[in-house]
Structure 1
Amino acid sequence: MFSSRRYENAQPQNKSFSSKSQKVRRSSTSFSQEAGVSKRRPESSRRRAGTVSNNQASQSNFDNPSNVSPIVTLVVGQEQRIFAAHEHILSQSPFFQSVLQNKMLDSQTKKISLPDEEPEIFSSVLEYLYKGDYYPRLLHNKKRNSWEIEPTSEEGRVEATIYHHSVDGELLKDTVIYCAAEKYGLEELKRVSLRKQGLQSGIQASTILTSARYAYAHTPDTDSKLRAHYLALIIRSRSTFKRSGTMQLEMLNGGTQLFFDLFVAMCNHVDDISSAASSPRTPRSGRPF
């Protein structure tokens, strides 16, 4: 069970749930030289933070000859950013294992195209495959018995949201990573990303709703955990959402399972409150009133 921050000082629509508007910070590197390789195509001379060369990766990743694995090239996103990873690392994912075993894949080039994926999201997935987590890491506070996101420096900020071309707007990054983990068959990554998004604050109501719709569109009906997270979040912050113009517009448009589930969840919530209020109280003596 993970602990979530409460969204306080709620403001309507374009204001965030937290007056502190603190955001998680971005590392100066996506992942270290022990992880996969990411670089832009030659036509762009500017390399993003977190990229390393193929030579560096081949020298630092597997010094032991018995661990050497073929390099797979991955062309990611509309920008066609190039990533490289070791085949046996990618094979931890049932999705990539199936692709790599496909006889239609060129055994010489070993190139996989992921045009619908966001490079920043795939970078986090690749970091997880190599290191078991993605930045910023999830830490367990033993004293409080709660989960926290590791503290970060002022130099490198990690935004809680990313721009996603499919919605032409901002989405919660951890939600998109969860959906990517669903696609790639990485159950533990789903658990990690679910815990992390429960710790985010300072998120706009419109982003919450857009991310919820994205979650519904990219997870099966049998996977209820991420959906339940959003339903609980909206119910907890209902004072904000009932004043939200975005929420009103979403409800008028309708057309998604999200709003029926939200209706059922809120009915159950009201029933629970009514049931608790009508239950007879027992005095300390053990006798009913």
Structure 2
Amino acid sequence: MLVGGDKRLFAAHEDVLSISPYFRTALKENFLEDGAKQLALPDEEPEILSCVLEFLYKGDYYPRLLHGKRRDSWHLENEQDTSHNGGRGSSEATFFHPGVGDVVLRDTVVYCVAEKFGLEDLKRIALRKQGLQVGISADVILRSARYAYDNTPDSESRLRAHYLALIIRTRRTFKRSGTMQMEMEMGGKLFFDLFVAMCNHMDDLVEIR
């Protein structure tokens, strides 16, 4: 596979790629002279494609999602858990997305790519990982929320609902955010959905009282 604007080369087994309906269809039509197959993915980011390939081979991507049986809770692996990692991958919650021109949450982009590639289990993992991220600034959250809306179909509700709930839950922080005002002026379906969700939230509070 030739990935991104600089055509970074990735190698993978056809049977592994074929887990994805998207790749399974694409591979049927792409041959080189020696019988090998090659896919061009100029719109994908190499760092994100690495996460996808790691999931296809290992069932998760770094940092892995770990389950604590004692408390029946989930957490992301840390440096003490990563002797297997061998220095591969990034544990940063955000990364610079050239198409956006700024940093966004990596798991959001992984989720959107998983939606495109038809990988429901990867979507589930990426969404759970996002819920474990803390200390993310308001501007990154809003930028990532808009990215999620721009890169998922209207029929996809889980990632969008995650962001709506997050913004409502931490609305006091967003009220003080200059980025929030700029984003609201831009408008779009994100803020229509947020308005509806806020109205429903206020109705629920009134009913509780």
Amino acid at match of 1:252: E
What pairs up with 1:237-276 in 2 under 5 angstroms? 237-254=170-187, 256-276=188-208
How far residue 152 of structure 1 moved from its aligned partner, in angstroms, is 1.8
Q: Which has the higher contact order (CA 8 A, sep 6+)?
A: 1
Q: Distance in 2 between matches of 1:80 and 1:147?
A: 36
Greater helix fraction, Structure 1 or Structure 2: 2
Which residue does 1:82 correspond to in 2? Answer: 9
CA contact (8 A) 1:137 1:149 kept: yes
What pairs up with 1:155-234 in 2 under 5 angstroms? 158-234=91-167
Which residue does 2:32 correspond to in 1? Answer: 106
How far residue 253 of structure 1 moved from its aligned partner, in angstroms, is 2.0
Q: Secondary structure at the match of 2:125?
A: helix
Which residue does 1:94 correspond to in 2? Answer: 21
- How far does the alpha carbon of each residue in 1:205-229 deviate from its partner, in whole angstroms, 9 at most, with x for none? 1111111011011111111000000
Which residue does 1:147 correspond to in 2? Answer: 74
How far residue 252 of structure 1 moved from its aligned partner, in angstroms, is 1.5
Q: Which runs of 4+ in 1 moved over 2 A?
A: 104-109, 153-157
Q: Distance in 2 between matches of 1:106 and 1:263?
A: 51
Q: Distance in 1 between matches of 2:183 and 2:164?
A: 15
How far residue 79 of structure 1 moved from its aligned partner, in angstroms, is 2.1
Q: Distance in 2 between matches of 1:170 and 1:80?
A: 21
Q: What are the ranges of 5 or more consecutive residues in structure 1 without an aligned counterpart?
A: 1-73, 278-289
How far residue 239 of structure 1 moved from its aligned partner, in angstroms, is 0.3
Q: Distance in 2 between matches of 1:211 and 1:105?
A: 36
Q: Secondary structure at the match of 2:142?
A: helix
TM-score, length-normalised on structure 2? 0.92
Amino acid at match of 2:48: I
Percent of pairs with identical residues? 62
Q: Distance in 1 between matches of 2:167 and 2:28?
A: 43
Q: Distance in 2 between matches of 1:90 and 1:136?
A: 21
CA contact (8 A) 1:99 1:105 kept: no
How far residue 179 of structure 1 moved from its aligned partner, in angstroms, is 0.4
Q: Distance in 2 between matches of 1:259 and 1:195?
A: 23
Of structures 1 and 2, the larger Rg is shown by 1
Q: Distance in 2 between matches of 1:129 and 1:253?
A: 37
- How far does the alpha carbon of each residue in 1:134-184 deviate from its partner, in whole angstroms, 9 at most, with x for none? 011111112222111112259966110011111111010000000010011
Q: Distance in 1 between matches of 2:106 and 2:168?
A: 21
TM-score, length-normalised on structure 1? 0.67
CA contact (8 A) 1:216 1:227 kept: yes
Q: What are the ranges of 5 or more consecutive residues in structure 2 without an aligned counterpart?
A: none
Q: Secondary structure at the match of 2:6?
A: coil
